[in-house]
Chain A
Amino acid sequence: MNGCDKMTRLIAAAMGRDLEPVEAQFLKEHAAACTECREHLAAAGAVTGMLKGLVPAEADTPLGFGDRLRDRLMDRSGCRNWYGYLPAIRFRPMELGLLAGLLLLALGTVGFFYFNEEHPQPLLLTSKEVSTETPLSIDLEYLAVHSIGEVAVTIELDEGVKFHSDYAEVAAARTHTWTGRFAEGMNSIPFMVTVEKPGVWQIKTRADFGGWRHEHLITLTSAGKMVTMAMYQLPKHRI
């Protein structure tokens, strides 16, 4: 080890105030004769003065440090609410535009199907003109996809119409309920009415089977000796 190499170690010892007197003497003598080591010693002296307090003993963390830390701790602990993630979602204009487009498309599709849906309307099944002097025969027809054990068909008449029947109690009633079975296929419930006075009268029927209510509306328009009948099938609905 030459003198200059030894100086590096001795200067380090001097920085730590750990220099023996004999070493201090060597340092002084060598530095007086060697420009490089003299400069080294001077630089080390300047550095030693700067080391103490180069950073403050206590330093405040930067603004927002605590908030960022809390966010990260919440992420790690899994205790963040779903809305806590909202601020973290940042969209670029392109993504935002795409999202808005998709939203509009979804709304348009829903709207199209909603407004284009054919809302069920009464369906005219039959229409005819007959004389008021003879009873009017009406057939209610129901299609059953399989046989049904218990079916009730109720017929309600307006005051200007009456049942045509040999049975006085039937003829006198305004409402009649037929009960029975439906076979698989078309089932017919026939009945007869007479129009007693001029006017516009209605006959309402309903039959409950297969989880649905099936209704008919029959209008009778009587003027003089003729009556015009129109039978409508109303949209069925769940019961």
Chain B
Amino acid sequence: MSGLNEKELAQQAMNGDIAAFEELITAERSRLYSFALGMAGGNHADASDVLQEAFVKAFVNIKRFRGDSSFGTWLWRIVRNEFINYRKALGTKAIQHDDEEVAGLAETGGTTAVEELILAERREKLLEIIALLPPKYRETLVMIDIREESYEKTAELLDLSMSALKTRAMRAREKLSELIRKRRSHFL
């Protein structure tokens, strides 16, 4: 770590200093990757590709970072936008992932091997369903219901008013509820 503050690091990154940029993204990298995993339906390859693309765009456009928000918030917005573009590019193609990736996403404790297998399969189905939601609902669900971020922080990161966020979260759950109804046999 260089010991420079965010503003100084951003200034150096604007001058093409890659090490400064890497230091800037370090703080949010693992949280953003977790968000990316949720958005990509648990697919590591897709999550990694989108996050990398977002980081490159952030570096190229860093002169647009004016410091109105924190660098982290600015970065989150770029990642979000990248996922919207990414889904557009993918169209309606189903998200592909393998069983090992899904099984490894969440820790299981005190369950038998068979129960773990059933749980992993259900998680896979759930991630598939979440991946079918439009990005604006998916990101809300990932932030609030999966990552359990506060409404305040989520509203800031998603650049929404509190009431708009609550409405969107409610709509996201309704959409999810509709999909669960159609695929309820997977979870019984």
Smallest distance from the beta carbon of A47 to chain B beta carbons, Å? 6
Q: When A46-B187, A53-B146 are in contact, do A76 and B122 touch as well, CB less than 8 Å?
A: no
Q: Is the CB of A74 within 8 A of B34?
A: no
Per-position 1/0 for B76-89, Cβ under 8 A of A: 00000000000000
* Chain B at the A interface: SS class: helix
B-binding segment of A13-21, A116-124, A194-202: A13-21
Q: Within the complex, which residue of B52, B60, B127 is in contact with A54, where a contact is CB–CB below 8 Å?
A: B127
Q: Is the CB of B187 within 8 A of A52?
A: no
Question: Is A189 an interface position by the 8 A CB rule?
Answer: no
In whole angstroms, how far apart are the Cα atoms of A40 and B21 in the complex?
A: 48
Question: Is B135 an interface position by the 8 A CB rule?
Answer: no
Q: When A43-B187, A77-B16 are in contact, do A52 and B145 touch as well, CB less than 8 Å?
A: yes
Q: Which residues of the partner chain A approach B148 to less than 8 Å between Cβ atoms?
A: 52, 57
Q: Is the CB of A51 within 8 A of B126?
A: yes
Question: Is A91 an interface position by the 8 A CB rule?
Answer: no
Q: Is the CB of A69 within 8 A of B52?
A: yes
Question: Is A72 an interface position by the 8 A CB rule?
Answer: yes
In whole angstroms, how far apart are the Cα atoms of A44 and B122 in the complex?
A: 12
Question: Is A132 an interface position by the 8 A CB rule?
Answer: no
Question: Is A87 an interface position by the 8 A CB rule?
Answer: no
Q: Which residues of the partner chain B approach A51 to less than 8 Å between Cβ atoms?
A: 126, 141, 145-146
Smallest distance from the beta carbon of B11 to chain A beta carbons, Å? 15
B37-59 CB contacts (< 8 Å) to partner A: 37-38, 42, 44, 48, 51-52, 55-56, 59
Smallest distance from the beta carbon of B16 to chain A beta carbons, Å? 5
Q: Is the CB of B170 within 8 A of A13?
A: yes
Question: Is B181 an interface position by the 8 A CB rule?
Answer: yes
A-binding segment of B1-9, B25-33, B67-75, B157-165: B25-33
Q: When A57-B147, A59-B30, A69-B56 are in contact, do A12 and B106 touch as well, CB less than 8 Å?
A: no
Smallest distance from the beta carbon of A121 to chain B beta carbons, Å? 62
Smallest distance from the beta carbon of B83 to chain A beta carbons, Å? 14
Question: Is B184 an interface position by the 8 A CB rule?
Answer: yes
Q: Is the CB of A61 within 8 A of B51?
A: yes
- Counting chain B CB atoms within 10 Å of each CB, the highest count among A51, A53, A65 belongs to A51
In whole angstroms, how far apart are the Cα atoms of A55 and B123 in the complex?
A: 10
Q: Is the CB of B16 within 8 A of A16?
A: no
Smallest distance from the beta carbon of B65 to chain A beta carbons, Å? 16
Q: When A8-B177, A9-B174, A76-B60 are in contact, do A59 and B184 touch as well, CB less than 8 Å?
A: no
| Interface CB pairs A-B, < 8 A, 24 | A9-B177, A11-B177, A11-B180, A12-B174, A39-B184, A39-B185, A42-B188, A43-B183, A43-B184, A44-B177, A50-B123, A54-B146, A56-B105, A57-B31, A58-B33, A59-B30, A60-B30, A60-B33, A61-B30, A61-B51, A65-B51, A69-B52, A73-B55, A73-B59
Q: Which residues does A use to contact B, with CB under 8 Å?
A: 8-9, 11-13, 15-16, 18, 36, 39-40, 42-44, 46-47, 50-62, 65-66, 68-70, 72-74, 76-79
